[in-house]
Structure 1
Amino acid sequence: MGRFSIDFKSNKWAIIYCGVSTFGALCYGYDQIYYTGLLGMRPFINDYGTSTDSDGNNALTTSFISLTASIIYVGELLGALMAAPINDRWGRKAVFYCASACIVAGAIVQLTAHGIEGLIILGRILIGLGIGQFTVTSLLYIGEVAPVSIRGPALMMFQFMQSCSQLVGSGITQGTEAIPNKNSFLIPMGLLILLPGLMVLSLPFTPESPTWYIMKRRIPQAEAALKKINRSTPAYDPAHDLDALNEAVRQEELSNAESSWASLIKDPIERRKLLYSCGAMVAQQINGIQFFYSYGVVFAQSIGIKEAFTISLITNVLQVIAVAISVLLGNKISRRKNLWVCSWGIFGALLVVGGLGTKRAFPTGISTAIVVFSYIVIVCFNFSLGPLAFTIASEMAVGRNRNKIMSCSIVTFFFTVWVIAFTSPYLYYSANLGPMLCFVYAGTTTITLAYIWFCVGETKGRTQQELERFFTDKIPVRQWKDHQFEDIPMIEEEKVAKLEVLSAQVERV
């Protein structure tokens, strides 16, 4: 964190409050990984398996694997949609309470399922509802609470925390996998309650978003929240921030008067923004990365890897390292170049895995090679598309329809993830593709490459006003890096950043 030049002493309490909201990232990452471990545990298979394998042992059906692994994304989609009205009426903390309750309820339902598939599905949906609310609101809260000097690193660290919890989840499932009874899967299930539980205990001491207070014209509460957030800053005076927030609210109200859903289709400028923002979400997931996360353990087992849980653990270690390096170098590497090079890396690695899968027999050398090239996919993704896609989607959603464009992007994200997670087992098992499934994902990765080439411009260091002008002036994305707007006056950098961030905060409400 030292490379971000963060003044920890002056921003101590703001960092602590942002840390509370990252429990949402921890829940997201942990749930994404622990369930794939459960699918490879013999006690879990014995409880929920309704078919048999070639050795006569209990086995999970393809439909069970597909439905229970993917249904959570339906819950996340619904949770993301639920978050908007709750955020608007009752505030960020209300969403945190609601999301925590959904996850705890879902975990309890799973713990009491006792081999009943319907209860597992219900539990997964409830957990998804909570994670969807967290996904929207945790980043929103960080953006509204973190001072300008730490806001960028704080937002980027959200994905890093998610990756860390995935590593922890992988380690837990590896540790419990050898337990010969139901505790092998009940322990990881039960530990899911811990994270939202800790958040609920922390929320009474955590301030509400001052931006939300301003939106509700509750000025005294906004002032109190700002003082609490910035109490480690010597001689802090909230007057300037209050004035800036009020001005951002006024500008947002003027902008909302011109906003409409119809313009997203009829207006070619707004349509281009919608395509670029939603396209980032499709480009991130269409390469099949969810297959490696949702089915990593069973994939490793299917190609004869005996230490499948160790392979999953190594995968998550590599992910954490890749995301951490990406965060540190985020402002030093061209986004367009990063995405372009790494996506070609993903494409090539997927082709190799698919080619190795044509052997249909997996001696140690072949299965090891498949794992190594799968690691290349993971590293390339987490260095580029993983951290950057959400940033690009947000940056492309500029102007009067920002809220609507971002809503469409979130829906697009969860829908794409669900499609990949739901269809993967059928393609892998029922269609008998096995690792050759990666040929399919290599093909869909060409969509990612096309998106990067035609829709991703260099946005690093650009103001919201410049991004809007790229669209209104119809500047090709390949010219964004060097294009200069002579009629946009130079404004004090800190003031520009402050006003843009405050405006973005209000637009997300």
Structure 2
Amino acid sequence: MSSSPTDDTKPRSDGFEVAAEAGHTFTLDEKAKVADYKADAVAAENAEHNMTVLEAVRAYPMASFWAFVMSFTIIMESYDVFLIGNFVALPAFIRQYGEYNAEKNVTVIVPHWQSALQVSGQLGALIGVFVAGPVTSRIGYRWATITGLMLLNAFIFTFYFAESMPVIFLAQLLEGVPWGIFIANAPAYCSEIVPIKLRAPVTQMLQMFWAVGSIIVGAVTYVYNQVEHERAYKIPIALQWMFPTPLAILMFIAPESPWWLVRKGRLEEAAKSVERLGRRSRLNSGETVAMMRRVVELEKAEGEPSFWELFRGTDTYRTLIVCGAYASQNLTGNLIANQAVYFFEQAGVSTNTAFALGLITSALQMVFVMLSWILTTYFGRRSIYLWGTFGNVVLLVALGIAGSIGDPKATSASLAQASLGLIISVLFTFGAAPASWVIIGETSSIRLRPLTTGIGRASYYVVEIPCIFLGSYMLNPTGGNLGGKCGYVWAGTGLFCLIVAFFYLPEMKGRSYREIDILFRRKVPARKWKKTVVDAEDDE
């Protein structure tokens, strides 16, 4: 390697030209240091590529545990989303806050309040995800998450003591802010603390814990759906206090992401973090930190990351993929899953049976998420996402047909719609949903990851909020009263997501973050990623 200070303009394989284009000028000492640690970086990356899944678990046992802890924060958003979804079908809640409709001879939560309650938490979370990116980039994943947990503890009081719809709306809005922090940080942190072979299972745990939250809600509301006292909805609200404090204690003793520490130049702390995540006898923390330095140098730019960078150069494509993966969760069956109990009621089954089916749906979702670990780990992200979305589109069309033919009051028609609703909700957590979490965790650059996951989740809420109003209107008997015919609408949006993903979603299975950076910089078409080879020595 030449030591001439003018060599930054020549083609290289050591990453200098890339960094120089990003606005960083290397000194001779920096060039020497890069040359010194590149061999270690290559060795660490090759070691990760050569690990099997079981070897990765043995090498990084604590990484899996801390990813489990961080993923647990998702339970709180899931719990509350499903809680509100169940409250609109809970008899005691309806009697307290519903309005009598003489024309239909039924007491219901009116559509505008039904939609407002379900959208309030998402509005707060939309604020939270924009807060999460800059805060996490500055203070780290641990302290940002701990702050969110303590805020949530306080905001639950507002929800518990609320006595009117406007106050419940405000309480949900406040609770949503820490949810936004959790949902922005969890996929990024989980994907950063584990080796390549474990990125799929640990990020898919987020979908599993989403199912766990719905199981807890399903069990509690099933028990209380026949209770006429206010405790039928007060006790489920109070149960939210189970989570924040224990999780805050665990996050306090958790290791910070070594990637975040390397970005901050705290290399010794990064090495210690790697050693806490893995077994010293099975890994070389110095080599692992060198691998991280190599990627960070490749992405190097001056100053703190900013939202504007998300829409510059190849980062625009990466940001759009993350936004699309998040937003599409609302368009391929998720809203039927989130409103499962209410959907079952509107399909014609009894209230008690609807709550029982909701609980069964949640339990099956958890099982199928765990099965999806195998599929996504061995068959890739793109394939599972495409086939899972295609399967849901077909079933949504079938749901629409079931809602269109026969007597809607007939038992057979009700059971057909309820069964299809259950299958769609479960299949969603077997294919598209868990695959999208892996895509979200892998796609962004290391430098911009907290901001990218934040803006991606924001796109989720921007799409979800109008979809909630639409979904509530379509199902509500005083609104569209479509029942199973809503399947046609979601099949159309799902088909759009499928077509876009086919052309623009690349396969990132088995790729290191260096390789992902390089493939995006080379502008390799999405459908050619799987067959494109990136040499271990390449840095551009």
Q: Give the structure-1-normalised TM-score.
A: 0.84
1:107 counterpart = 2:156? yes
Correspondent of 1:176 among 207, 224, 241: 224
Q: Is the 8 A contact 1:338 1:384 kept in 2?
A: yes
Q: Which residue of 2 aligns with 1:456?
A: 505
Q: 1:153 to 1:439 in 2, by over 3 A?
A: closer
Correspondent of 2:467 among 420, 434, 440: 420
1:315 counterpart = 2:364? no
1:41 counterpart = 2:90? yes
Q: Which residue of 2 aligns with 1:505?
A: none
Identity %: 23
Q: Which residue of 2 aligns with 1:203?
A: 251
Larger deviation, residues 130-139 vs 23-32: 23-32
Q: Is the 8 A contact 1:86 1:94 kept in 2?
A: no
Q: Which residue of 2 aligns with 1:303?
A: 347
Q: Is the 8 A contact 2:396 2:488 kept in 1?
A: yes
After TM superposition, give the deviation of residue 27 of structure 1 in Å.
Answer: 1.7
Larger deviation, residues 354-363 vs 471-480: 471-480
Whichever residue aligns with residue 289 of structure 1, its letter is N
Q: Which residue of 2 aligns with 1:19?
A: 68
Q: 1:470 to 1:12 in 2, by over 3 A?
A: closer
Matched residues in 2 for 1:258 and 1:20: separation? 27
Matched residues in 2 for 1:325 and 1:245: separation? 31
Q: Which has the larger radius of gyration?
A: 2
Matched residues in 2 for 1:471 and 1:215: separation? 20
Q: Is the 8 A contact 2:94 2:107 kept in 1?
A: yes
Matched residues in 2 for 1:135 and 1:403: separation? 11
User: What are the equivalent positions in structure 2 for 1:493-504 lying under 5 Å apart?
Assistant: none
SS in 2 for 1:40: coil
Q: Which residue of 1 aligns with 2:395?
A: 349
Q: Is the 8 A contact 2:403 2:484 kept in 1?
A: yes
- C-alpha distance after superposition, 1:455-498 (max 9, x if no partner): 2343323444554565555544334433x44xx4246xxxx9xx
Q: 1:345 to 1:178 in 2, by over 3 A?
A: same
Q: 1:4 to 1:156 in 2, by over 3 A?
A: farther
- C-alpha distance after superposition, 1:265-320 (max 9, x if no partner): 7x5x5554444443333333223521331x22222112221111011011112211
Matched residues in 2 for 1:104 and 1:196: separation? 6
Matched residues in 2 for 1:118 and 1:154: separation? 38
After TM superposition, give the deviation of residue 380 of structure 1 in Å.
Answer: 2.6
After TM superposition, give the deviation of residue 201 of structure 1 in Å.
Answer: 3.1
1:329 counterpart = 2:375? yes
After TM superposition, give the deviation of residue 179 of structure 1 in Å.
Answer: 2.2
Q: Is the 8 A contact 1:106 1:125 kept in 2?
A: no
1:188 counterpart = 2:236? yes
Q: Is the 8 A contact 2:191 2:203 kept in 1?
A: yes
Gaps of 5+ in 2: 1-51
Q: Which residue of 2 aligns with 1:373?
A: 420
After TM superposition, give the deviation of residue 260 of structure 1 in Å.
Answer: 8.4
Q: Is the 8 A contact 1:49 1:58 kept in 2?
A: yes
Q: Which residue of 1 aligns with 2:438?
A: 391
Matched residues in 2 for 1:263 and 1:12: separation? 33
Matched residues in 2 for 1:276 and 1:235: separation? 35
Q: Is the 8 A contact 2:119 2:468 kept in 1?
A: yes
Q: 1:380 to 1:416 in 2, by over 3 A?
A: same
Matched residues in 1 for 2:519 and 2:57: separation? 36
Matched residues in 1 for 2:184 and 2:131: separation? 10
Matched residues in 2 for 1:45 and 1:348: separation? 34
After TM superposition, give the deviation of residue 248 of structure 1 in Å.
Answer: 4.3
Q: Which residue of 1 aligns with 2:300?
A: 253
Matched residues in 2 for 1:396 and 1:19: separation? 21
Larger deviation, residues 74-83 vs 56-65: 56-65
Whichever residue aligns with residue 361 of structure 1, its letter is P
1:291 counterpart = 2:336? yes
Q: Which residue of 2 aligns with 1:504?
A: none
Q: Which residue of 1 aligns with 2:327?
A: 282
Q: Is the 8 A contact 2:126 2:458 kept in 1?
A: yes
SS in 2 for 1:331: helix
SS in 1 for 2:378: coil
Q: 1:46 to 1:477 in 2, by over 3 A?
A: same
Q: Is the 8 A contact 2:117 2:168 kept in 1?
A: yes
Q: Is the 8 A contact 1:36 1:297 kept in 2?
A: yes
Matched residues in 2 for 1:151 and 1:93: separation? 19
Whichever residue aligns with residue 169 of structure 1, its letter is V
Matched residues in 2 for 1:77 and 1:425: separation? 20
Matched residues in 2 for 1:197 and 1:347: separation? 41
Matched residues in 1 for 2:151 and 2:341: separation? 27
Matched residues in 1 for 2:387 and 2:194: separation? 32
Q: Give the structure-2-normalised TM-score.
A: 0.79
Whichever residue aligns with residue 159 of structure 1, its letter is Q
Matched residues in 2 for 1:472 and 1:86: separation? 28
Q: Which residue of 2 aligns with 1:503?
A: none
SS in 1 for 2:166: helix
Correspondent of 1:481 among 522, 525, 530: 530
Q: Is the 8 A contact 2:346 2:475 kept in 1?
A: no
Please give the root-mean-square deviation of Cα atoms over the aligned residues, in Å: 3.3
